[in-house]
Chains A and B, each alone.
Chain A
Amino acid sequence: MSETIIKVENIAKSYILRHQQAEKYTALRDVITHKVKSIFSSAKETDAFRSREEFWALKDISFDVKKGDRIGIIGRNGAGKSTLLKILSRIVEPTKGKISMNGRVASLLEVGTGFHPELTGRENIFLNGSILGMGKREIRQKFDEIVDFAGVEKFLDTPVKRYSSGMYVRLAFAVAAHLEPEILIVDEVLAVGDAEFQNKCLGKMDEVSKSEGRTVLFVSHNMGAINALCNSAILLDKGQIRSMGKTETITGMYFSGSYAEAGEFIIGKSSNDEKVIIEKVTLRDAMNRPQHTFQFGDNIQVEIELDALQEFEKPYLWIGIKNGRGPVTAATAMIDGFRPAKFSKGHNTVKCTFLNVPFMPGQYTIHMGIRAADGLSLISDSKDVAIFSISTILSEIGLNGGLADTLASDSVSPLIPYIWEFEGDQKYSFDIKNYVK
């Protein structure tokens, strides 16, 4: 049993909401006038003015983290994830409770904190490194590695204000990726950058945490990334721990609320710009039963219930399946050209069935998005909507390699039919048809 490195006991954080004050910050004038007012007016009026409300961003959070754990913290917007990370990073003070930690903590709540646009790439590496808690010698030592990772050798002496946004993010992440604290706290920072770079970052974090036994607390909305990186997860809901445990179990609950309604995922509005709201996604097997666990070669039907705020002609839909290592497959109107004639105002249902899905055992995430007829404007944000797992035991489908079950989930995702041919008329075929029930 490894030692406890973080002990969180009954942490709570409250904020006072002042409903009347629209200003972002308090002005002394207001404080004075209100003080004066409260002297002359009745108590009732001042209460009405104040209408203060205590808001508990976090309530009774307790958990232990063992050395070398990689913990994913998930939850909807406003669940308290960032507040928790800020308390753990000592940026804000908890209202109640106690946290004990052992070891050097580095937190990465934003990519490129403290980057100064006027400074060159080289100067910013040193500045940002020291802000993140690296010593001068440490930065010098890793300097070449950082530059190499970011791929900005040519622009080292250019002010970063002239960088493309991609270069900027790469450099910023490269510095952070070379931090070597005992405890690393990471907020949703991978949301920036392109897919290739995101994978590179995930790979780097994975490598660092696994090989060097570093403890990582990681917040993300990307369930694929959480599944790939973390060995356990905490689901926060309205400031409380809803559940914690094995990553796959918890990420499943993130979508469905609980496993009671297996295969049903309530989604709802994700931003105010959305004109088509994905209400609910249901995964069904070939018998039309809601499911979240499938077997190799099963049909998977994705049923999407939408609420369109207005009528849309010929929208573009895409539904993709990915795992922790990246995209696996997709049904995309951009490629196949099939589009619904229209979404009428109000409720619409869309179904898409993936046939004989030849996926290796593991956890998969479904993401989707919708664009208007012009193919450009998003009418429903691209987002993760459902999660399912393939639980086939490989030897049952004729894959008898000694380490098949441990290796498969880590190496290949889809397995398409193939035939081996060896000298001496040896022939082996692996074909889905043989195993589909």
Chain B
Amino acid sequence: MPSQEFSVIIEPGRKKSFYWRDIWRFKGLFFYLAWRDILVRYKQTAIGVLWSVIRPLLTIVVFTLVFNKLGNFPSEGAVPYAIMVCAGMLPWQYFSSAFSDSANSLVANSNLLTKVYFPRIIVPASNVIVCLIDFLISFVILIGLYFYYQYTPDWRIVFVPVFLLLATITAMGFGLFIAALNVKYRDFRYVIPFIVQFGLYISPVGFSSSVVFSNPSIPQFLKYLYALNPMVGVIDGFRWAMLGGSVDLHLPVFFASVAVSILFLFIGIWYFRRMEKSFADVI
């Protein structure tokens, strides 16, 4: 009897050669999970989707008051301080919500994980998409501020998607890594908000990167360390694209951040895939 061809083989430790093809096959589920989270996000709220505008807007107002009016931090060139904060706040909010949602996503969907098969990477990835949509909605704030301050961005604005991709890579990399750890060690449930809070202060959200680099009292090694923060590259990139010619992109700093982001994406995917097969056993 000729040996039969089987379409699915299950074996311990088997390297899934069709891993990425499998993900493609489950793209429908990916969209439905994202669609579910978008639908559910603002159900039974009075002002609904307005929340994704109000929250960053209020933070921008507070940051502008604290850093600019009280702290006398300088803006980038002639750019109104609120616009500069906004150009940092939007990607930061995107990163922080995408990171924390995807890091918590496996635990939050544990009932799915233990009952249905699908490539598990779909769950954190669909969470990132939901945050991306929130980000696009909150973009109206920036447009509003452009009008309010009569400010016109230049041709560089077309590069926003590039930096958006970079922000997504960063959030995915960290999100996947922590999500996989979170399945086994629930400690990370408490670590995630801390990372987000801490990150806000070491990333150029309320201030501009040039404040850090031009300050002589900051030792050189701290500046190097600062440059390794992948969100520095992302936010500086956004400012470069959104604030016209008044911001210079420090290329070495930018590429250091990009390298860290991509490295973390690979580490995240590698660790996630390594742990993936035991998720249902330990969750």
Residues of A within 8 A of B (CB): 3-4, 7, 15, 25-29, 31, 86-103, 105, 107, 109-110, 113-114, 116, 118-119, 123, 126-127, 130-133, 135-136, 159
Contacts and interface: CB of A to CB of B under 8 A. Distances in A.
B63 to A, nearest CB: 33
Given A92-B277, A130-B32, 8 more contacts: A25-B185, A89-B116, A92-B280, A94-B10, A99-B10, A102-B8, A110-B111, A123-B39
Interface in B2-34: 4-13, 28-29, 32
B152 interface: no
Contacts, number: 115
A127 B36 contact: yes
Contact of A131 (B6, B10, B112, B187): B112
B185 A31 contact: yes
A96 B12 contact: yes
A142 to B, nearest CB: 15
Contact of A25 (B11, B28, B39, B282): B282
B115 A109 contact: yes
B28 A98 contact: no
A100 B4 CA distance: 10
B9 A99 contact: yes
Nearest to A89: B117
Nearest to B276: A93
A131 B28 CA distance: 9
A113 B6 contact: no
Given A101-B7, A101-B8, A15 B112 contact: no
Contacts of B40: 116, 118-119
B44 interface: yes
A25 B184 CA distance: 7
Contacts of B115: 91, 107, 109-110, 113
B186 interface: yes
Contacts of A159: 43
20 contacts: A4-B4, A15-B281, A86-B280, A88-B10, A89-B116, A98-B10, A99-B9, A99-B10, A100-B9, A105-B117, A107-B115, A113-B111, A113-B112, A113-B115, A114-B112, A116-B40, A118-B40, A118-B44, A127-B32, A131-B116
A91 B12 contact: no
Interface string B167-211: 000000000000000001111000000000000000000000000
A87 B5 CA distance: 20
Contacts of A103: 7
A113 B116 contact: yes
Given A3-B4, A4-B4, A97-B11, A90 B117 contact: yes
B278 interface: yes
Contacts of B43: 118, 159
B6 A93 contact: no
A101 B35 CA distance: 32
A136 B35 CA distance: 13
B174 to A, nearest CB: 17
B282 A101 contact: no
A33 to B, nearest CB: 13
Contacts of B281: 15, 92
